[in-house]
Amino acid sequence: MLYDIFIDPFVQMGAQPDFLIQVLWEGFVSGILYALIALGFVLIFKASGVFNFAQGIMVVFAGLTLVGLHEQGVPAFLALILTIGVMGVLAYGIERVVMRPLVNQPDIILLMATIGLTYFLIGFGEFVFGGEPKRMITEELWLPTGSTAIEFGERGLVLLQHIDIAAAVIAVLMVSGLALFFNKTRIGRALRAVADDHQAALSVGISLNQIWAIVWFAAGIVALATGIMWGARSDVSFALEIVAFKALPVLILGGFTSVPGAIIGGLIIGFGEKLGEIYWGPLVGGGIESWLAYIIALIFLLFRPQGLFGERIIERV
């Protein structure tokens, strides 16, 4: 028994290093996608302190809009631009209808509001686009398909999907883009300021309401990118929502306010989940992917309640 848990998995890893690398790659790719969802959370949390439960559904919604528009005969790239527009309208709407009236409410109320938003978007999305899964318009967007096999050692073979590589590249681009945006632009600096001090942000000359609309829009674009990537790997459907919950443990690991934390947290969860599922899963009948991420986060939390990059909390009386 102990052997099965503590020794055998590593023996297997050593015995088939190519398979291990394949697993790690899979983990890396899903980690990237988790990180992208988490990134959306972080953006909004940083700027407004709102824990946006709806980020996952925004991913699906963005993906569905894109595909849906294309199905209606809109050219792929026009559809992409229109979708960005839709996300902008959505961000503006959320700011007006949800965020502004709820300003200064306790965290839990805001969280609940985003859960309400989730329900609304699910209903709305299904009502407009129907409930059945859709195929992502990968080729139409000139994204690579197919795969490359890399010879590994004597008889090993690692298979890399092109779309996964593209996903990684886009993720890197997106993170760098956001970093630039935060550090180099006026709005970006205001956004950072708002995270620290609302008054300071106002002195930059941008209203809080504008800032919120902007971050929700930014989160919407991140969601669109995530949706395209994810949709290209599987299909676009509301089943994705469950996957989006995984962003929670990612954030727990990385801390709610840290962009690098979101990336690293995403990767840890991605790697951990795939390794766990492949090497330890069979011991208990498999399928542990559905909860492993949470347990990892939970164990982590017990030892470091403030997350990887969070500051230590000193409670004051």
Question: Segment 110-139, which members bind other proteins (CB under 8 A)?
Answer: 111-113, 115-124, 126-127, 131
Per CB under 8 A, does 176 bind other proteins?
Answer: no
Among 28, 92, 294, 309, the residue binding other proteins under the rule CB under 8 A is 294
Nearer to other proteins, 105 or 183 (CB): 105
Per CB under 8 A, does 104 bind other proteins?
Answer: no
Q: Which of these ranges, 71-79, 135-143, 272-280, 301-309, lies near other proteins under the rule CB under 8 A?
A: 301-309
CB atoms closer than 10 angstroms to residue 15: 9
Q: Which of these ranges, 157-165, 184-192, 194-202, 307-315, lies near other proteins under the rule CB under 8 A?
A: 307-315
Per CB under 8 A, does 282 bind other proteins?
Answer: no
Q: Which of these ranges, 73-81, 193-201, 228-236, 308-316, lies near other proteins under the rule CB under 8 A?
A: 308-316
> C-beta of 300: minimal distance to other proteins in Å?
10
Nearer to other proteins, 190 or 275 (CB): 275
Per CB under 8 A, does 149 bind other proteins?
Answer: no
Per CB under 8 A, does 315 bind other proteins?
Answer: yes
Q: Which residues bind other proteins (CB under 8 A)?
A: 51, 97-98, 101-102, 105, 107-109, 111-113, 115-124, 126-127, 131, 242, 245, 248-249, 252, 256, 284-288, 290-291, 294-295, 297-298, 301-302, 305, 312, 314-315, 317
